[in-house]
Structure 1
Amino acid sequence: MAKKRNIPHTYVIVFFIIIASAILTWIIPGGEFDRMDKLMPDGSTKSVIVDGSFHHVADQPQTWQVFSAFFQGFVNQADIIIFILLIGGAFWIMNASKAIDVGILAFLQFTKKLERIQFLKKLGVNNIVMVLIMLMFSSFGAIFGMSEETIAFIIVMIPLAISMGYDSITGMSMVYVAAHLGFAGAVLNPFTIGIAQGLSDIPLFSGIEYRLFCWFVINLVGFTIILRWANKVKKEPKISPMYAADEVWRKQHESQEVNFEYHTPKAAWYSYFMVLISLIGFSYFYPETTMRIGNSEFSGFVLPITTALFAIMGFFSLRKSIHFFILTLLLFTIVFLIVGVMGYGWYVKEIGTLFFTMGLASGIAMGSSPNEITKLFLDGVKDILSAGLIVGLAGGIIVILQDGKIIDTIMYGLSQSMNEMGKVASVGIMYVIQTGLNIIIPSGSAKAALTMPIMAPFSDLIGVSRQATVMAFQFGDGFTNMITPTSGVLIGCLGVAKIPYDVWFKWFWKIALAFVILGFLLLIPTVLFEMNGF
Structure 2
Amino acid sequence: MKQKNPAVKTFLSAAIVLIVMLFLTGLLTYLIPNGDFNAETMTFTIREEQGIPILTWIGAPILVLFSESGALVIAIILFLLIIGGSIHLLKETGLIEGIILAIVKKFKDNELVLLCMLVFVFMALGAFIGVFEEVVPLVPLIIILARRMGWDELTGLGVSVLATGLGFAAAVTNPFTIGVAQGLADVPIFSGALLRLLVFISVYAILVAFLFSRTKKHRIDCVENELTSKQDVSKKAYGFFIVLMLIMFMLVGATPFVEALRDYTLPLIGVIFLVAGIGVGLISNGKPAWVAKQFVIGAKDMSPAIILILLATGIKHVMIEGHILDTILYQISQNISHTSPLIAVFIVFIIVMMMNFFIGSGSAKAFILMPILVPIMDLLGIGRQLGILAFQFGDGFSNVLYPTNAVLLISLGLVQVSYGKWIKFILPLQGILMLLSIFWLTVAFTIGYGL
Fold conserved (TM > 0.5)? Answer: yes
* Identical counterparts, % of pairs: 29
In the alignment, the residues of structure 2 paired with residue 350 and residue 193 of structure 1 have an alpha-carbon distance, to the nearest angstrom, of 24
Once the two structures are TM-superposed, the CA of residue 371 in structure 1 deviates from its matched residue by 2.0
1:152 paired with 2:137, answer: yes
Worse-superposed segment, 509-518 or 125-134: 509-518
Cα gap change, 1:185 to 1:261, in 2 (>3 Å): closer
Equivalent residue number for residue 19 of structure 1: 23
Once the two structures are TM-superposed, the CA of residue 259 in structure 1 deviates from its matched residue by 7.1
Residue correspondence of structure 1 range 116-195 to structure 2 within 5 A? 125-195=110-180
1:66 paired with 2:57, answer: yes
Residue correspondence of structure 1 range 209-288 to structure 2 within 5 A? 209-234=194-219, 237=220, 256-258=226-228, 262=232, 264=234
Q: Retained in 1: the 8 A contact 2:171–2:200?
A: yes
1:50 paired with 2:40, answer: yes
Equivalent residue number for residue 31 of structure 1: 35
In the alignment, the residues of structure 1 paired with residue 271 and residue 44 of structure 2 have an alpha-carbon distance, to the nearest angstrom, of 42
Per-residue CA deviations over 1:216-269 (Å, capped at 9, x if unaligned) read 1122112211221222112xx49xxxxxxxxxxx8xx987345766364xxxxx
Once the two structures are TM-superposed, the CA of residue 329 in structure 1 deviates from its matched residue by 4.6
In the alignment, the residues of structure 2 paired with residue 438 and residue 79 of structure 1 have an alpha-carbon distance, to the nearest angstrom, of 21
Per-residue CA deviations over 1:122-161 (Å, capped at 9, x if unaligned) read xxx1111011111011111011211111111111001111
Equivalent residue number for residue 393 of structure 1: 311
Cα gap change, 1:212 to 1:340, in 2 (>3 Å): closer
Q: Retained in 2: the 8 A contact 1:401–1:407?
A: yes
In the alignment, the residues of structure 1 paired with residue 230 and residue 321 of structure 2 have an alpha-carbon distance, to the nearest angstrom, of 56
In the alignment, the residues of structure 1 paired with residue 115 and residue 210 of structure 2 have an alpha-carbon distance, to the nearest angstrom, of 12
Q: Retained in 1: the 8 A contact 2:93–2:233?
A: no
Return the letter of the residue paired with 1:262.
Answer: D
Equivalent of 1:509 in 399, 402, 427: 427
In the alignment, the residues of structure 2 paired with residue 56 and residue 362 of structure 1 have an alpha-carbon distance, to the nearest angstrom, of 59
1:377 paired with 2:368, answer: no
Q: Retained in 2: the 8 A contact 1:185–1:214?
A: yes
Q: Retained in 1: the 8 A contact 2:184–2:370?
A: yes
In the alignment, the residues of structure 1 paired with residue 252 and residue 224 of structure 2 have an alpha-carbon distance, to the nearest angstrom, of 31
Equivalent residue number for residue 365 of structure 2: 447
Q: Retained in 1: the 8 A contact 2:98–2:228?
A: no
SS of match in other structure, 2:132: coil
Q: Retained in 1: the 8 A contact 2:93–2:230?
A: no
In the alignment, the residues of structure 1 paired with residue 230 and residue 366 of structure 2 have an alpha-carbon distance, to the nearest angstrom, of 52
Q: Retained in 1: the 8 A contact 2:148–2:227?
A: no
Per-residue CA deviations over 1:284-319 (Å, capped at 9, x if unaligned) read xxxxxxxxxxxxxxxxxxxxxxxxxxxxxxxxx43x
Equivalent residue number for residue 84 of structure 1: 80
In the alignment, the residues of structure 1 paired with residue 230 and residue 248 of structure 2 have an alpha-carbon distance, to the nearest angstrom, of 25
In the alignment, the residues of structure 2 paired with residue 146 and residue 254 of structure 1 have an alpha-carbon distance, to the nearest angstrom, of 35
Equivalent residue number for residue 252 of structure 2: 338
In the alignment, the residues of structure 1 paired with residue 323 and residue 359 of structure 2 have an alpha-carbon distance, to the nearest angstrom, of 13
Q: Retained in 2: the 8 A contact 1:411–1:437?
A: no
| Cα RMSD (Å) | 2.2
Worse-superposed segment, 155-164 or 418-427: 418-427
Per-residue CA deviations over 1:16-56 (Å, capped at 9, x if unaligned) read 1101111111100012223xxxxxxxxxxxxxx42413322
Q: Retained in 2: the 8 A contact 1:73–1:393?
A: no
Equivalent of 1:95 in 91, 94, 99: 91
SS of match in other structure, 1:202: coil
SS of match in other structure, 1:149: helix
Equivalent residue number for residue 460 of structure 1: 378
SS of match in other structure, 2:196: helix
Cα gap change, 1:480 to 1:366, in 2 (>3 Å): same
In the alignment, the residues of structure 1 paired with residue 229 and residue 421 of structure 2 have an alpha-carbon distance, to the nearest angstrom, of 36
Extract unaligned runs of 5+ from structure 2: 1-8
Per-residue CA deviations over 1:83-122 (Å, capped at 9, x if unaligned) read 111111011111121111112222211224xx3xxxxxxx
Return the letter of the residue paired with 1:69.
Answer: A
Cα gap change, 1:393 to 1:26, in 2 (>3 Å): same
In the alignment, the residues of structure 2 paired with residue 388 and residue 495 of structure 1 have an alpha-carbon distance, to the nearest angstrom, of 10
In the alignment, the residues of structure 1 paired with residue 289 and residue 229 of structure 2 have an alpha-carbon distance, to the nearest angstrom, of 28
Q: Retained in 2: the 8 A contact 1:33–1:50?
A: no
In the alignment, the residues of structure 1 paired with residue 326 and residue 412 of structure 2 have an alpha-carbon distance, to the nearest angstrom, of 30
Return the letter of the residue paired with 1:170.
Answer: T
Q: Retained in 1: the 8 A contact 2:119–2:163?
A: yes
In the alignment, the residues of structure 2 paired with residue 354 and residue 232 of structure 1 have an alpha-carbon distance, to the nearest angstrom, of 38
Q: Retained in 2: the 8 A contact 1:430–1:473?
A: yes
Cα gap change, 1:327 to 1:148, in 2 (>3 Å): same
Q: Retained in 1: the 8 A contact 2:22–2:311?
A: no
